[in-house]
């Protein structure tokens, strides 16, 4: 079994969206690892001195026990184009360290910067992020993500985005998209024109 991870944004010494990471951490430990008692991430993560300023990625790597907690700078990947790739068998419902199935799909991106994974005609996620689409009135996220992310959950809970059914035939209804994850929220994520998707 692959090790599990939580990737949490550390901004100026504050762990962001921690309640949603805690929820996913507990769900993974229950459903994947068969555990019933769960430590609090807020207590597990003791920030070393010198990390009080700036933007960092905090990664918690765990099996039944916490294996390590590490910190690394955030390196933003510029995405200007996305290739639709297809897999009806892809599964990534929990945040595993092993992403080999996604790596295989990423190799199909051709000259594009990233991919949008299509499963049974429905849009799911990009390689590293959930996706949201602008229809002229609201930001819509597919109701079929491979991995329901913590930023996605936070934005849904605040009513800033909403779920919808988005197949490949629906893409023409949208004007632009954004890629969101723990390190990129609604405001920070750059807008990508819908024409940047290669069918």
Which residues, in sequence order, are CB contacts of 81 under 8 Å at separation 6+?
111, 112, 113, 114, 196, 197, 198
In angstroms, the CA 75 to CA 85 distance is: 24
Q: What is the DSSP string of 55-79?
A: EEEEEEEESSSEEEEEEEE--PPP-
CATH of the domain spanning 82-198: 3.20.10.10
pLDDT given at position 140: 97
- Each residue's pLDDT tens digit, 169-178: 999 999 999 9
pLDDT recorded at residue 188: 86
Task: Provide the β-strand partners of residue 116.
Answer: 84, 126
The full length of the chain comes to: 199
How much of the chain, in percent, has pLDDT values that exceed 90? 88
138 has a pLDDT exceeding 90: yes
Place of tokens 């300023």: 53
Exposure string over 119-132, b if 16+ CB within 10 A, otherwise e: beebbbbbbbbbbb
Domain regions of the chain by residue span? 4-73, 82-198
Q: What is the pLDDT of residues 54-96, one digit of tens each?
A: 899 999 999 999 999 999 988 878 899 999 999 999 999 999 9
Q: Is the pLDDT of residue 2 over 80?
A: no
pLDDT for residue 77:
81
Q: Residue 28: which H helix or E strand, with range?
A: helix 18-31
User: Taking a C-beta distance cutoff of 8 angstroms, is the pair 131, 109 a contact?
Assistant: no
pLDDT digits 0-9 by tens, 93-136: 999 999 999 999 999 999 999 999 999 999 999 999 999 999 99
- What is the per-residue pLDDT for 17? 94
Report the pLDDT averaged over residues 132-157. 96
- Whether domain 4-73 has CATH 3.40.50.20: the reply is no
Question: So what's the pLDDT on residue 47?
Answer: 87
Q: At residue 51, does pLDDT exceed 90?
A: no
Beta bridge partners of 118: 86, 123
Kindly report whether the global pTM for this prediction surpasses the value 0.95.
Answer: no
Angle at 117 between CA 111 and CA 121, to 5 degrees: 120
- pLDDT of 1 higher than 80: no
Helix (H, G, I), strand (E, B) or coil at 116: strand
pLDDT tens digit sequence for 4-47: 999 999 999 899 999 999 999 999 999 999 999 999 999 999 88
């Amino acid at each position: 079994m692959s090790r599990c991870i939580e990737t949490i944004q550390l901004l100026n010494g504050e762990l962001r969206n921690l309640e949603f990471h805690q929820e996913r951490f507990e769900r993974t430990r229950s459903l994947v690892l068969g555990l019933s008692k769960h430590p609090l991430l807020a207590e597990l993560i003791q920030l070393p001195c010198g990390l009080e300023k700036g933007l960092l990625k905090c990664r918690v790597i765990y099996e039944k026990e916490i294996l390590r907690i590490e910190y690394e700078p955030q390196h933003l990947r510029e995405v200007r184009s996305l290739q639709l790739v297809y897999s009806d068998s892809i599964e990534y419902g929990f945040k595993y360290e092993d992403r080999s199935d996604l790596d295989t799909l990423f190799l199909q991106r051709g000259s594009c910067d990233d991919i949008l994974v299509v499963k049974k005609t429905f849009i799911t996620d990009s390689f590293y992020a959930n996706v949201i689409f602008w229809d002229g009135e609201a930001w819509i996220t597919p109701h079929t993500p491979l991995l329901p992310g913590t930023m996605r959950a936070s934005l849904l809970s605040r009513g800033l985005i909403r779920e919808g059914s988005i197949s490949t035939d629906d893409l023409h209804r949208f004007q632009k998209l954004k890629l969101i994850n723990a390190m990129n929220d609604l405001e920070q994520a750059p807008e990508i024109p819908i024409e940047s998707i290669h069918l």
